Chain A
Amino acid sequence: MKIAISINSLDMDDKMDMRFGRAKKFMIYDTETKTNELIDNTQNLNAAQGAGIQSAQNVINTGADAVITGHTGPKAYKLLSESGVKIYHSEEKPVKDVIADFIAGTLKEADSADVEGHWV
């Protein structure tokens, strides 16, 4: 299973990035092979609007089955869930702990967006 995690760096001890739309990078972690791959998301950092949509498109196109991030807004949530990507909201933790939580099954799947959209 491939999971996308919003991150600040590939360092497993570094804390995850709590933002989804404006995350700088995503780690695509394969739970079977235990390998990871880095996806750049910086094109969204300066987007006036629609960053969540673009991030979701990025993540979906990697073929990830699930996303772990801090928060998702309504548009990102809609696009991800309609595309069959599961969404998990985590506390701010080192990436390795986030992955461990996911594998242990202690992360709860989100059933809705947990933050409002932002307007220009």
Chain B
Amino acid sequence: MIIAVASGKGGTGKTSVSVSLAKALADSNKKISLLDCDVEEPNAHLLLECREISRSEFNVKIPSLDLSRCTGCGKCAEICEFNCIAIVKKRAVIFPDLCHSCGGCSLVCPEKCIKETDSKTGEILEYNAGIIHLVQGILDIGKAMAPPLIREVKKLAREEIALIDCPPGTSCPMVTAVGGADYVILVTEPTPFGLHDMTLAVETLRKMKMNFYVIINRADSGDDRVEKYCTSENIEVIMRIKESIDAARAYSKGIPLYDALPEFKQYFILNSNKIISRAGEFK
């Protein structure tokens, strides 16, 4: 069972919600892999007491060119969908930062002077946090291609339930992170920004033909436009998390919502069962 926790807007509480749901499920003896796919700034580990169990480099393939044999024929530049290769003065010039690792250039090169070589773009760490298995991808600073790393993190899910903490936004990293999930939980906040960006996420998920529910964080703050939108679009709000200054204070010390207040713990335990049973409905 795979459940992705996403949002349009950043900072709405994806990580708080995923960690709290993971802890609630773990306390009901459910085995969870929590996959931190927000690889540009993974932070689930900050809210959990965890012990590192493995760390490995993550590489992608990028082209390397043997200039002595390049005739400047341009076949590589022609096939590159991502404009990474220019042909100037009868030779190819490669800009690997833009490469999506498709391998097309090395396949079409008639001189066989383009080889695919490993290039490190990040790291993957695994932790044990009690019975929660946490996998974390970290993209190296300055690297732009998050999706290959996100796909690799998702492959490491080993428990029956996988919870994916997705990157914000609606571009390739978010699409890669939610892809293949049984359903998506969109965490939003009741503000104009929260609504605007959630609307984009809803449009993205509908285009992907994915099922989703909404959790409104700090639900009693802001205004009622998110509620009205969800009603008019027939989207079920499955949880409403109260605004709490105590929870904010705890969070600033690395304590997740689940452990911040007893009433939050109860609320998450109650709803975690509902969230698991919902996944079954889409099977």
Residues of A within 8 A of B (CB): 47-51, 53-54, 56-57, 60-61, 75, 79, 82-83, 117, 119-120
Contacts and interface: CB of A to CB of B under 8 A. Distances in A.
Nearest to A80: B88
Contacts of B172: 120
Contact of B86 (A48, A49, A54): A54
Given A50-B95, A50-B98, A120-B172, A79 B83 contact: no
Interface of B: 77, 82-84, 86-89, 93, 95, 97-98, 144, 171-172
Contact of A50 (B82, B87, B89): B82
Contact of B83 (A51, A60, A119): A51
Contacts of B77: 57
Q: Majority SS of interface residues in chain A?
A: helix
Nearest to B94: A53
B98 A56 contact: no
B86 A56 contact: yes
Contacts of A83: 88-89
A120 B171 contact: yes
B84 A53 contact: yes
Contacts of A79: 86, 88, 93
Given A56-B88, A57-B88, 5 more contacts: A49-B82, A49-B98, A54-B86, A60-B89, A120-B144
Given A53-B95, A75-B95, A120-B172, A61 B83 contact: no
Q: Specify which of A54, A57, A117 lies most central, judged by the most chain B CB atoms within 10 Å of its CB.
A: A57
Contacts of B95: 50, 53, 75
B144 A119 contact: yes
10 contacts: A48-B82, A49-B82, A49-B83, A50-B83, A50-B98, A54-B86, A57-B86, A57-B88, A82-B93, A120-B144
A57 B83 CA distance: 11
Nearest to B77: A57
Contacts of B83: 47, 49-51, 53-54
B88 A61 contact: yes
A40 to B, nearest CB: 17
